[in-house]
Structures are given as structure tokens and as C-alpha cells.
Chains A and B, each alone.
Chain A
């Protein structure tokens, strides 16, 4: 089948909220059963319309999906397989928190079709985990990781974080080394960002955070260390053994289609970006009372041609492979260098970007100031682009 689709399932439950997290998530175990039932109702709604799609990646994320009981998880997986065409080689990822999994459970999930685990380690230093208000220790993480291996998971991602309160370049090195010792197939390295409306934002004055230069040093250290260990960086925050790049996440950066189910989940389908409202109760009621008018849509808009150009540049340049100007011309009938030449020249000359044949990509230094560069270059409302898109430029 021609049409490929990624499926994201949001499980907005946690046993406790981490102080830095601004994802939509609640801590009410009583609602687990009813929510999974609602999700399946939602899948049934889409089942027919998406019949012409092959789903080659599924990502069950959260929240903490592994707070669900084994029984509910299996109900959920059955729902997915019953309602969509899941390809044989589909990448099916489950986000797992240490201290919520053991070998037995993982074996079962493995046999039900889950073939990739993403485990949040964040740090190997317990003081930093505590500062993050994570509910596990590093030992517990290690135990979970070994349990996953025992359960025959051969595609595991570890989430690692830098910029944590109390963290130093030395302690981050320890975390990096701990990751390398475990030899996961994939590593995501995220910088902690203090988001509005989180407990961290409220007490930001009291947090001892690494400064900008230290943070960059940590990032550079991660890039160097992981590259030396034969991980390939393929995106700003993502590293993998060759062949183990996360298919699901690549869909985001490559402007491919995906459907996200659950409150606060985001979708990109039929040129439309939409998301569902961050309201669990509303979501469940809307699914249960099919003939009632519930508006669960949060944002919903069609991508205009000029917006698509901007998005494409923004997303492609996140990838280490960069943006291919030939491909860009094929897609949009536009000359990338002609539009952005004056910027590209400065960035290449000063080692923020590099050009390789027909491809532009960021250097490590450039990647880490990519917002600055992209916000200077891009203009989603730009008249320049809209004139060009409307056909005045055919160069």
C-alpha cells in the first residue's frame, strides 16, 4: 500500500508528576479502564477511514504507559491490531518508566507485538534524579534495563537529560558512561527546559542550573562520547546504532503523516495539523456519547503552501542529513539557495552550517543555536515565500 501512517497513543497517567514536566498527564488510576475503553472507541471511529493506510510505526507514550495493568495494556494492544493495518515490520514502541516494569511483564508485552522500549533514565546520579523529582533511582533503572534485555528486547532507547539542577560536566560524563556501558541501540539526549506552569518554573530562582556555556559543553560531550562509541547522531537530540533510528520520530522530522489519539495528542493528516484538548473527562465523555456534540479538537488548521515550505526547512534541518536542495526543488519548485543565499553564505563561512554536494546541514555548533538561525531565516508568513509559491519565481 502507498500510504504509510504513524500511530501515537497517549497514555496521560503517571504515578506522580515530575516537577519539570509540562506534558498532559494525571494521576487517577481509577480512570485507567474507562480511558482505554474510550481510546478503543476512538480507534473504531478512525478504523474505516484509515483503511487505506499501512501503519508502520506505533508509539505508546505518555505520561507513563507502564502504570497501566498488564490486562489493560493487552486490551489496548488488541484494540490497535484490531482496528488498523499494522505492517509486519512495524516499529512498536512502548515508553517505560523504571520501577514500573519487570521481566515477566515485559516478556508478555514482547510476545504481544511490542518490539521497542524507550526507558527514561535521565541521569545516573541519584541526587540529580531526586532534584528532578523522578520516582526511581539509578539502580532501579539499571534493573529495568536488564529486565528488558532478559525479555529479549533488542531495540531499546535510553532517555538522558542534561541541564539538570546540581548537574556538572563531570557528573554528566558519569551518566554518559553509564549509558555507554549498557549499550542501548538508541539514545535520546534532551536538554532540560524550564516550561511555564510547572513547579520548576515557580521555583526557578532557587534552582541551581548549569549556565549556557556549561550546557553547551555537556551537549558537545554527549555528541563526542556517543559518536566515539559508534552511535550515529541523526537528529539534534537523537543517536542510534545504524539501522536503529526511531522510525516514528523520523516521521515528525520528515513531514510524514501521523495520527495521535488521546487528550493532548497531535496529528498530521491530510495536510491538516490538529490536536485533542487536554481534558481527560471531556475526551472520555465524547467517545462514549457518540451522538452528542462534543468539541474535543484543540487546534486544527490546514497547512498553507508557504507554511509547508517553512516547516519543511525547520524540520529537515533538525536532521543531521540536512536539507537537500534538489529534493527541495522537486517538492516546492523553489531554489533554496536563491531564497536564503545571504544567510547561508554567512553561516557556512562561519562554521554554523556546512554544504555537502546539494545538501545543507548544521554543524554541532550551529545546531545548538539553530533556533536563533532558523528564526532569522524563516518567516512562516513571509511575502517573499508566498510570492514565490504563487508562481512568480520559477528559477
Chain B
């Protein structure tokens, strides 16, 4: 083994949301003195505001730590932080592939959850050495021994000597570092072979262009080298290479096999630098790319419109900016009779969608109207053509459809046993097909279901949480298409179809869903001068009807003495409010009323 390799460790931390992954990362940084604790902002790795706030990691990050071990050796530790959510499963798998080992953080008060399990399987599939860490031992509800047993039973990983720590209080962090060095194997590779790097992340910087995060498996790379991105097929000349120190990019002369670092090469667009792609030499490169590349495909689509129609241009600019750093976000212009000009956006999943919405609203100060999310349906028409539909508006009329298929997922839910009944009911209600149930230990079970994706994109996760007092966890992966009986449900306001409110639903659920939406709209559309009928229809058939009663009272009956200004201001404020309204024929509807149909509370 090259002596270089001996002192390198590449590892990730995997965990369920809130089990303390980012806090542990911070402690490791602190312990290795990469960061002085007084300089340290909580959770340095999660440097997007939204991430810090939600306590989750959205994009992968990486950091290089130089550790002076008590034995006198200096180790180069590369910590690759992974996104913790099911929507980003592919990105997690690529990050894991860049490592030789993974710390599996398990909350000693909660035990193993669906995402810990899913990520642990991913890590073990990637051939990683898994080092369990039992966290939060400072909490009164900690049960280290139970969790130890659970890890051994469920994952078949020895856990008898795994560190039990409190990342929050910094207890036993030394044992974690010790384990990283002793349990995780050093990298291997061949510096003299052609270059072979795995892209596990990239982001756009306005000065440097795209900064590509890589793990070098073979060969070496440095400034001036010509490189080729094998799957995309594009070529660039390297400007800089280096490592990610805790305080930013630090240039190096070269990156060698075994290293984790960055490459810049005047690349203009992150869509060139797909996660999972292999970088090699432009001349005499490797013939075989690293396995497992796939282009992350959007699974959930929704129309996003500016609440204020005049901000369409701002919305486009904002989406373009977000896309610079998020190749998995797709969008194209779309027009709705109800909402005007907007974009059809594709997302990896619901969380991804929520994050994009929130970033648009916060970072770009946009007020948005989002349509109901849709999955991609596969329709075989009577003329033999097969089309994919991601927008209910384009759904063909029933007599043109020969077969309709919808995407299916394999879902795994881990829950305390007392909620199994309620969760099975929920899955049943969402057209789930039961596969099996395993007991993780005496108190918790893991349920497997096959579920239509369109049943979980609305509020499944919320429903799951509410039925399990927040304890159940979910993981899912796409599992192809399946024949289904689908119908398009339309909503009519005052007799006029509102295109943005149409959606595709299973035949059996159409009636209940239609009724629920009509009720929601009735409750959320403000009273106007005239009565407004709200109807749900399939084809031409009305299946539900509600009425928004006519406005009766909107008057300043009170006399404010001679304070005419106040009366004027009230009317002006009201006028301002009206400007936010969408005019649909004779009906005014607020963005809030539009959005209300997206939430089906139980």
C-alpha cells in the first residue's frame, strides 16, 4: 500500500433526520481542531439557511480535516456529508460511493428509523465499512443497550464496541475519531492508471464557474490537464484543483488517487457535471466509467406561477439561478387560463419541491401559486401512441385512452408497533398493496407496501406523522409503472372550468376527492357580490357541488368622526388586496384559496 493511502480516510455520516448527523460533523471538526469552537457557527456544514432551519442537509457537502493523531501521524480525513432525505437517494448513493466507510448515527432514544435503514443498506451495497455511532446518550430517554441490540439484529453489524456519544455535549468524540482511523479502510487505487474520478456534487460560482466535487479513484489530475466527462461527453481544461478545507477551497498542485477534492475548469453549467458521472483524461482516458451513473429524473411535477402576474420574468430568473446549482430541477414555460404565465417544474420528490418553493419565496422574495403536484402518467392511446403526461390539463379525453399506467413506489415505514393498525389503514386508504411486515424488535415494526406515487405526493407524509404521533418514518423508491383506472377531475367555479385545479385521480377516489376539494374551495373563497357555485366534475358529469354564499356585509357602519383619511385608507387597503386576486371570469380567488386545495387534512 502506498504510504499516501495509509493516512487518508474517506467517510460519510448517515442518519435519519434529527438523529444528530450535523452536530456530530461539527464535533468532529472541532475535535480535529480544524475549527476553533469559538469561531464555529452551529452546524458549519449545513450552510444553506434553509438547511440550518430545518435541520436537514439538502445538498451534499464535503470537508477535509487534518488530524494530528496521538501516535504522531497526520491523517487526512475527508468527511462527505450526505442529504438525509428520500428524495435525494441517488445523490446519497453517489456520495457513499466516494467513500470507504460510513458512520451510521442512531439516536439512542429513537433507535433505527426508515432512513437510517435505507441509507445503511445503500452504504453496505456500496461496499462501505459501516461504523455505528449511538448518539444522544445525554438524554434521559437514552437506551444504549436496546439500540445496540437493534443495530446488531436489524443490520447484522457488530455494535458491542460502537461509540456511545453525545454529539451535543461533545462526549466520547475521541472514540469516534479513533474508530474512523481504525475501522474504516484507507483508500486504494493506482496513480499511474488513467484518471478516474467520481463526481459526487457540484455547484456554480460566478467567478470560477462550476466547482466539481470529486473522489479520485485512479490517476491524478492538476491544472492544465484536459479532462472528459464520460457520460455527458464534454471536455474541458482544468483551471484549478484542491481540497475543501473547513474555511473554503484550498488550491493544491494535484489531486491523486484516493483523494477527495474539487476541480474547476471554466464549466458554465451544472447540467454538464452530473452527479455520478466519471471524469477521465481527454486523451488516453479510461475505457470503463465508474458504474451506477444515472440522470436523476424528476418524479413530481407542478405548475408554479407568480401570485402577481407581472413578476413572471422575476420567477424565470429565479428558477434559472436555482437551476445553476440544481441540475435535477427542470422547468418549462406553461400557460394557464386561470393563472396566466408560469412554469411547469419537475422535482425529485415532494421535499425537493417544497425546498424549491421556499427558496423562491425567501431568496427571491416571490409570492407563488403552486398547482397540485402531479406524477408522470403513461398513456397508451387508442391510436397506439404512447404519451407521458405530467400536466392534468393535457390528459386526453377518456375515449382516446386505451391503457393508463401510473408510477408505483416500494415504500418502507418503520413505526412503533402501537401505530401499525392506523398506518396500515392509511396505506390501504392510499391504494397500497401490503408486501410484508417485520418486527425490528419488540416495540417496532417495519412495514413494506407497494403504493401509487400519486397517493403519497399530497400529504401522505403528514398523515403518517399524525397517525404515529410523529414516530413513523418513511422511505421509498420508484418501482416502475402499473396499469390503473384513472380519471381527470375538473373543478368549475361559477360554471367555468379552472384548468389549474384539474388533476388526475384513481376512479374510486374521484368522488370523495372531488367533494373534499369543493368543500375546501367553498371555505376558502371569500364571499363576493354574487353566489358562486363550486363544482367538481368528471367528463361532463358533476359529482360534487358547493356554494359560496353572496357577501352580505362589507361596510363601514361606524362613524370615525371627521377621520376621512382612515376611511380612504381602508378602501385603499382593500383595493390592494383585490390586486392579489386572480380574476376567473366573474370570480375572484386569492392565492391562499388556490393553495388550500393542496392540503387534504384528515
Contact = CB atoms under 8 A, between A and B. Distances in A.
Interface string A272-299: 0101000000000000000000000001
Nearest to A59: B561
Interface string B523-564: 000011110000000000000000001011111111101111
Contact of A219 (B557, B559, B561, B567): B557
A352 B528 CA distance: 13
Contacts of B564: 252, 266, 268, 273, 311, 315
Contact of B552 (A193, A299, A369): A369
Is chain A's binding surface mostly helix, strand, loop or mixed? mixed
A376 B555 contact: no
A199 interface: no
B552 A236 contact: no
A196 to B, nearest CB: 12
A189 B567 CA distance: 18
Contacts of B552: 212-213, 215-216, 368-369
B512 interface: no
A213 B575 CA distance: 23
Contact of B571 (A249, A275, A371): A371
B317 interface: no
Interface residues of A, number: 46
Contacts of B321: none
A293 to B, nearest CB: 25
B574 A375 contact: yes
A33 to B, nearest CB: 24
A190 B568 contact: no
A267 interface: yes
B553 A369 contact: yes
A307 B567 CA distance: 13
A288 B545 CA distance: 68
A165 interface: no
B567 A376 contact: no
Nearest to B563: A266
A71 B530 CA distance: 57
Given A8-B562, A260-B562, A369 B568 contact: no
B559 A212 contact: no
Contacts of B558: 190-191, 193, 237
Interface string B143-184: 000000000000000000000000000000000000000000
B553 A314 contact: no
A375 B557 contact: no
Given A267-B562, A275-B563, A368 B568 contact: no
B565 interface: yes
B507 interface: no
B572 interface: yes
Contacts of A378: 571, 575
A371 B575 contact: no
B362 to A, nearest CB: 27
B578 interface: yes
A258 interface: yes
Given A310-B568, A314-B571, A379-B575, A371 B554 contact: yes
Nearest to B567: A314
B433 interface: no
| Residue of B527, B529, B574, B578 most packed against chain A (CB within 10 A) | B529
A162 to B, nearest CB: 8
Contacts of A395: none
B553 A311 contact: no
A370 interface: yes
B565 A188 contact: no
B551 to A, nearest CB: 5
Interface in A30-79: 61
Contacts, number: 107
Contacts of B554: 368-372
B557 A314 contact: no
A373 B554 CA distance: 9
A132 to B, nearest CB: 14
A380 B565 contact: no
Nearest to A217: B552
Nearest to A318: B556
Given A369-B555, A372-B554, A8 B572 contact: no
A260 B527 CA distance: 38
Given A258-B562, A275-B563, A375 B571 contact: yes
Contacts of B570: 371
Given A190-B558, A193-B558, A258-B562, A374 B553 contact: no
Contacts of A392: none
Given A299-B565, A372-B529, A249 B555 contact: no
A322 to B, nearest CB: 16
B562 A372 contact: no
A206 interface: no
A260 B563 CA distance: 10
A375 B578 contact: yes
A134 interface: no
A247 to B, nearest CB: 13
Given A314-B567, A368-B552, A266 B561 contact: yes
Contact of A350 (B530, B562, B565, B572): B530
A216 B553 contact: yes
Contacts of A268: 562, 564
A188 B559 CA distance: 9
A367 interface: yes
A315 B560 CA distance: 13
A249 B559 CA distance: 9
Nearest to A192: B558
Given A213-B552, A369-B552, A372-B529, A190 B557 contact: yes
Contacts of B565: 266, 273, 275, 299
B557 A236 contact: yes
B553 A215 contact: yes
Contacts of A372: 528-529, 551, 554, 574
Contacts of B563: 266, 275
A90 B242 CA distance: 90
Nearest to A267: B562
B527 A374 contact: no
A370 B555 contact: yes
A260 B561 contact: yes
Given A350-B530, A376-B578, A379-B575, 14 more contacts: A8-B561, A8-B562, A189-B557, A193-B557, A213-B549, A215-B552, A236-B555, A236-B557, A265-B562, A266-B564, A267-B562, A299-B565, A369-B551, A371-B556
- 9 smallest CB-CB distances across A and B, nearest first, come from A191-B557, A375-B574, A216-B552, A266-B562, A372-B554, A371-B554, A266-B563, A375-B575, A369-B554
6 contacts: A191-B557, A237-B559, A249-B559, A368-B553, A371-B554, A372-B554
